[in-house]
């Protein structure tokens, strides 16, 4: 799982937990509020019922005192108590929620009114048995009401206490759950992110210190596996680059050794302590010296070209050319290069025109020709052909040599890359990469194919010039852009 997905899932879970806890707390506190309201109403009902009971008993006592000749002022007090009794019974009605309570209140109010009515009619209630029964019944019902509401208040109190405990449990539970989730997330980050990250950092540091075998383990979430894989690829690439550089140095040394050895042998013929050899030998020696110096010069040019091209600087001096001429000159140049090879030209009678830098095209063709000779060590025919194919002007070099393995076909166009079967032959692997860049700068390409019956065919394909009445051509886009550098070439 990726770090991003895990963090998103963890945050979503925490948010869901917080929402669920908040929702439950809202429900529980709403219930607690209901219980508290019930408790308050029941407590008020108890207080009202007790007050009504006290008023009823006081009325009875005051009435008894008045009937026994008590002071007349007591009558005022009696009326106040009657009003209080009625007010409390009235107020009680809004404090009752059970049918039982309402029944008791109805009966208590009715009996109290019966009792008060009898007393107002001048009866002596304590003697009139009906009035006395009504007083007793009202008193008992008011006491029942007090008990009933006390029970209700206790129940509401217990419910509120239970709900309070539930709310506490819920709060503590959600806090514990959130803490556990955060702890699990931290443990996950430590084990699955920080430790692999540390491993990658150690591998990078070890590689930086020079341990070329150091690689990062592809462990942990997707991002870190990708990170480790990228570092490993980079380290592999650097190792490959290093191997290539070492191979390049070895190849350069090898290539320099041959002309230098030839120069040494040639120079040894002219010794300061001996008379000069005959003139024809001197001429031959000078010729050998010239050839080897030219070879060294070519080698140096290749290195310079490669570094210029890698730096993105390639210059073309574009002109309207007949590619048959370029091919003819190259064939002439290589005609006597090797006694075991026959170098031939196959060109059409009509001109093969292209807008190109003839020196650069000749450089490519010379490279293809020298490769054709070098990579057919047993000798054979080397055929240079110039043909027009649709809107392409193609120069092809075919040989009967060792050919190019299928898996090497793309690689050999990279700098310092050589084919597997070419290892025993001299070379540094620069010629084709330079040739390809030159072809691309003209808006063309180099193709490669195996030749039926052995050997290979390298084809330089350039955009053919559109024939006009004047015979002038057009410049392909890539060549036009490179044309700005024209004249600044080597």
Among 109, 142, 323, 428, interactor with ligand ADP by CB under 6 A: 428
Binding mask 16-55 for ligand ADP (x = CB under 6 A): ----------------------------------------
How far apart are alpha carbons 434 and 306 in whole angstroms? 6
Residues 6+ apart with CB under 8 A from 461: 389, 392, 393, 394, 439, 444, 445, 446, 447
- Residue 397's SS3 state is strand
Q: Which residues contact 129 (CB under 8 A, 6 or more apart)?
A: none
* First vs last C-alpha separation in the chain: 57
419 binds ligand ADP (CB under 6 A): yes
Q: Which of 412, 438, 446, 461 binds ligand ADP (CB under 6 A)?
A: 412
Note whether 334 binds ligand ADP by CB under 6 A.
no
- Say which DSSP state 221 is in: S
The whole-angstrom separation of Cα 117 and Cα 96 is 26
Q: Which stretch binds ligand ADP (CB under 6 A): 87-95, 229-237, 262-270, 394-402?
A: 394-402
- Of 49, 156, 216, 372, the one binding ligand ADP (CB under 6 A) is 372
Instruction: Please tell me whether residue 353 adopts helix, strand or coil conformation.
Output: strand
CA distance 463 to 390: 9
State yes or no: residue 422 binds ligand ADP (CB under 6 A).
yes
461 binds ligand ADP (CB under 6 A): no
β pairing state of 353-356 and 380-389:
unpaired
Give yes or no for residue 402 binding ligand ADP (CB under 6 A): yes
CB-nearer residue toward ligand ADP: 148 or 432: 432
Residues 395, 385 contacting (CB under 8 angstroms): yes
| Interface stretch with ligand ADP, choices 87-95, 111-119, 401-409, 478-486 (CB under 6 A) | 401-409
Rounded Cα gap, residues 233 and 125, in angstroms: 112
Q: Does 418 bind ligand ADP (CB under 6 A)?
A: yes
**What is the phi/psi pair of residue 417, to 5°?**
-95, 135
Q: Which one of 196, 259, 427, 463 is in contact with ligand ADP (CB under 6 A)?
A: 427
The answer to the question of residue 309 lying near ligand ADP (CB under 6 A) is: no
Residue 164 CA to residue 158 CA, distance in Å, equals 10
Which range binds ligand ADP by CB under 6 A, 151-159, 313-321, 370-378, 459-467?
A: 370-378
Q: Answer yes or no whether residue 456 interacts with ligand ADP by CB under 6 A.
A: yes
Question: With binding defined as CB under 6 A, does residue 463 bind ligand ADP?
Answer: no
Told to check if 361 binds ligand ADP by CB under 6 A, we report no
Contact set with ligand ADP (CB under 6 A): 367, 371-372, 375, 399, 401-404, 412, 418-419, 422, 427-433, 456
């Amino acid at each position: 799982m990726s770090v991003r997905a895990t963090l998103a899932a963890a945050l979503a879970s925490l948010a869901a937990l917080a929402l669920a806890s908040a929702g439950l707390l809202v429900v529980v506190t709403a219930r607690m509020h209901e219980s508290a309201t019930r408790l308050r109403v029941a407590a008020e009902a108890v207080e009202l019922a007790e007050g009504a009971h006290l008023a009823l008993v006081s009325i009875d006592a005051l009435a008894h005192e008045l009937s026994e000749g008590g002071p007349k002022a007591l009558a005022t007090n009696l009326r106040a108590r009657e009003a209080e009794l009625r007010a409390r019974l009235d107020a009680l009605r809004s404090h009752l929620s059970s049918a039982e309570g309402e029944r008791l209140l109805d009966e208590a109010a009715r009996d109290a009114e019966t009792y008060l009515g009898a007393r107002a009619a001048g009866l002596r209630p304590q003697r009139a048995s009906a009035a006395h029964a009504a007083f007793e019944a009202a008193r008992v019902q008011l006491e029942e009401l007090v008990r009933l509401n006390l029970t209700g208040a206790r129940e509401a109190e217990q419910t509120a206490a239970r709900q309070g405990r539930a709310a506490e449990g819920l709060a503590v539970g959600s806090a514990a759950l959130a803490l556990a989730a955060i702890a699990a997330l931290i443990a996950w980050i430590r084990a699955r992110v920080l430790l692999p990250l540390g491993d990658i950092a150690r591998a990078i540091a070890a590689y930086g210190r020079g341990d070329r075998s150091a690689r990062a383990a592809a462990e942990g979430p997707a991002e870190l596996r990708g990170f480790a894989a990228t570092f490993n690829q980079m380290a592999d690439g650097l190792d490959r680059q290093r191997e290539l550089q070492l191979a390049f140095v070895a190849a350069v040394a090898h290539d320099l050794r041959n002309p230098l050895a030839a120069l040494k042998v040639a120079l040894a013929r002219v010794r300061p302590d001996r008379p000069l050899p005959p003139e024809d030998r001197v001429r031959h020696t000078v010729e050998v010296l010239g050839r080897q110096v030219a070879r060294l010069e070519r080698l140096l040019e290749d290195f310079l070209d490669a570094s210029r091209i890698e730096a993105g600087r390639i210059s073309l001096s574009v002109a309207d050319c007949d590619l048959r001429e370029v091919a003819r000159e190259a064939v002439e140049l290589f005609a006597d290069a090797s006694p075991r090879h026959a170098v031939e030209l196959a060109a059409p009678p009509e001109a093969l025109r292209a807008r190109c830098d003839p020196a650069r095209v000749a450089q490519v063709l010379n490279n293809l020709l020298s490769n054709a000779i070098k990579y057919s060590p047993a000798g054979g025919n080397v055929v240079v052909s110039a043909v027009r194919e649709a809107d392409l002007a193609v120069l092809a070099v075919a040989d009967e040599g060792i050919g190019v393995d299928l898996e090497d076909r793309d690689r050999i166009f990279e700098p310092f890359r050589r084919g597997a079967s070419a290892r025993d032959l001299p070379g540094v692997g620069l010629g084709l990469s330079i040739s390809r860049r030159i072809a691309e700068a003209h808006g063309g390409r180099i193709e490669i194919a195996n030749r039926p019956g052995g050997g290979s065919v390298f084809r330089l394909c350039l955009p053919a010039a559109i024939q006009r009445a004047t015979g002038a051509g057009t410049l392909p886009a890539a060549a036009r852009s490179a044309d700005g550098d024209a004249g600044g070439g080597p």
